[in-house]
Structure 1
């Protein structure tokens, strides 16, 4: 049974090879050390220095997040937070990460957090991972050739293998924390693999996201602002082919018919203009999958109709918004530029519809006070991430209700005299 080690060196291995020597030497990285910060900053520099990579929105977003200018304030906040009270933070030990295949750069954010918190890190990449994942691995491997990054090289292993239970069992026995990203079925399968008694399991399952627009407010803004919102919404939809958990698949308008009808019409025209001026194009397989989702939902959603369609973006008008229809959308919407458009009278009407699957709400036309009121009046079933339209995919260490810095570290209680 073979697997391929990709980082720090490329080589074919077997389970027997893994058993013959320890994965890691006793060479620990202290939390928040300069070596890791410099390493992450150099990944950022490598991306920005490439005329090709820097134009890729997924890679440029990653590079921006990995900058020293972003990481240092995060570290300072964590240190300040950790020093308050009688708790000392230390690494978990060995972290085993299984990232999803729908967002090729996501493993790099997780790698950054795991190394920053002082963990030895094992990452399993699928052989079907996007090309961008392997591009990043090559970049990381080249940086690890520098002697200055020797400690990082000794604390990081990236492997590629199929869903082979025996290999996952090996890494699961070795780890202190297993972090599973992926579809519900993938998570169920990996959870069947036992961990060491003291090890911890965290999973990030399939989630679903919306956009929300105040129709009256949208109509009252300037033409430039309306164009900007159309562009930002388009970006939120098309990045990752709308397959990320943070990708909005429902556009919910709030208002009455006097505002809803002209607001929708105006946005459709603007989206069409953005679409015509954009270079985004879908693979044939994604286009076929979108058509399949579209026809399935038109059959399931009563009185629904195709309101706008292009090769990249299709808008399906849903007249009745209820939990049954939302469940159908959850089951049959597979991304690829399909936006289900609907409306409610007021923002508080959202709450009764929500399920545990909802993740991100990207909004326009509401103040921070409005959003805080919405949160304070919510139940346990609510979005985990609320952000302005255009920032749906912005990565944060707060994810799906977890603080990942806390997840990647353990607390040592210091009972002072």
Structure 2
């Protein structure tokens, strides 16, 4: 077999077919691990501390957020959540070997899924792209250092990298008990065609679309400093991952009277543009040209009544009626907007592909009524502004703590 695989962790280096098979044989050997074992908890605690003490890592928002997510108290809450989720009369055990095929457009996503699978007691194979941003390389270095202190835990982990090679993916799939695929629809469908062992299963996280809904009067009622703070939180939702994450909002739905919606939007975008100018970093001329080309095409082909540019980072396109552009999106701070009289006016336009609704200004009762009216047609998450990219063990409607484990029924005689 002609193959090119780079082992990243542990014992980094290139691997031929025989070397990969030896690694896979070791991964497939059960160690009898229990969920939330002591060494896994210790590893998370040490890795969190290592990230926060590293002079470079602690300055990278994605790494800082991950370190916060795996701190001791957070993991203890996950352990409680895991234990409470076991059905009566069952014991939850690891599923076995998990093959992780994370997305390329959200580089840090691999770490969250892998940590959850590790905590559930599984052995893990993680395939990473060869085009990795520097923060991933830094995190791998810190992971490797901490795994080297816990050899029993390290023995069940394998991080590798290779190109788009279905033969290698098939080789990895043949030893897994669960395959987790993150990516575009075409990627998911292609990998799903690769056979799994008969008793294995898989999770798929395909293309998704996300929105925001703001109650116009609630924005208008904010003091200036609070409106600026809202814009600061929403900046993270839109601009992290260059607006290419599935949870990144693409359209803002303004709810209220038309005059209130226009006043709230004008105020809010000014604040958002100020945050983008302060925190957005550099942008290149090519990205700006691509955004403008996309905007002009949208004006010609779709019901777009206006375009507003706020520097080079924020571009807002106003829709006169709802248009389905889910399969044709542009990142880099490109937002559509539309005014609707009520949140329920959004219901006819929701599709199963819709993942996250970022919200501001609605009561818990209003949000719950809206979800009840959806009837399962779409939206797996409704989150406050600033939390679109916060990872939760329930993702895309899938409970990962449950998926990465299996309940074993234990029935005793009377």
Q: TM-score, normalised to structure 2's length?
A: 0.95
Q: Is the 8 A contact 2:258 2:339 kept in 1?
A: no
CA distance in 1, matches of 2:100, 2:42: 22
Deviates more, 1:299-308 or 1:403-412: 299-308
Deviates more, 1:312-321 or 1:190-199: 312-321
Residue aligned with 1:209, SS: strand
Q: Is the 8 A contact 2:60 2:135 kept in 1?
A: no
Q: Provide the residue aligned with 2:74 in structure 1.
A: 70
Q: Is the 8 A contact 2:304 2:317 kept in 1?
A: no
1:161 aligns with 2:165: no
Correspondence for 2:50 among 35, 39, 46:
46
CA distance in 2, matches of 1:315, 1:347: 21
Change (3 A) 1:15 1:66: same
**C-alpha displacement of 1:353:** 0.2
Change (3 A) 1:220 1:6: same
Q: Provide the residue aligned with 2:108 in structure 1.
A: 105
1:167-186 counterparts in 2 under 5 A?
167-186=168-187
Deviations 1:5-37 (A, max 9, x none): 101110111123223561324434311111111
**C-alpha displacement of 1:89:** 0.8
Q: Is the 8 A contact 2:218 2:361 kept in 1?
A: yes
Residue aligned with 1:245, SS: coil
Q: Provide the residue aligned with 2:334 in structure 1.
A: 338
CA distance in 1, matches of 2:151, 2:362: 49
Q: TM-score, normalised to structure 1's length?
A: 0.94
Change (3 A) 1:288 1:162: farther
1:133 aligns with 2:129: no
Residue aligned with 1:142, SS: helix
Residue aligned with 2:103, SS: coil
Instruction: Give the 4+ runs in structure 1 shifted more than 6 A.
Output: none
Tell me the C-alpha RMSD between the 2 structures.
1.6
**C-alpha displacement of 1:285:** 4.8
**C-alpha displacement of 1:229:** 1.1
Residue aligned with 1:230, SS: helix
Deviations 1:347-377 (A, max 9, x none): 0011110111110001000111111111112
1:36 aligns with 2:40: yes
1:383 aligns with 2:387: no
1:377-416 counterparts in 2 under 5 A?
377-416=373-412
Change (3 A) 1:215 1:32: same
Change (3 A) 1:413 1:306: same
Q: Is the 8 A contact 1:15 1:167 kept in 2?
A: no
Q: Is the 8 A contact 1:86 1:414 kept in 2?
A: yes
CA distance in 2, matches of 1:286, 1:195: 40
**C-alpha displacement of 1:279:** 4.5
Residue aligned with 1:162, SS: coil
Q: Provide the residue aligned with 1:17 in structure 2.
A: 19
Change (3 A) 1:407 1:187: same
1:142 aligns with 2:155: no
Count of aligned residue pairs for this structure pair: 409
Residue aligned with 2:164, SS: coil
In structure 1, runs of 5+ residues without a counterpart are none
Q: Is the 8 A contact 1:215 1:255 kept in 2?
A: yes
CA distance in 2, matches of 1:287, 1:29: 51
In structure 2, runs of 5+ residues without a counterpart are none
Q: Is the 8 A contact 1:232 1:390 kept in 2?
A: yes
CA distance in 2, matches of 1:120, 1:213: 43
Residue aligned with 2:406, SS: strand
Correspondence for 1:361 among 354, 357, 362:
357
CA distance in 1, matches of 2:255, 2:210: 16
CA distance in 1, matches of 2:367, 2:291: 32
Residue aligned with 1:304, SS: strand
Q: Is the 8 A contact 1:268 1:308 kept in 2?
A: no
**C-alpha displacement of 1:188:** 1.1
Deviations 1:36-80 (A, max 9, x none): 111112111111112322222211111110111101011012213
Q: Provide the residue aligned with 2:225 in structure 1.
A: 224
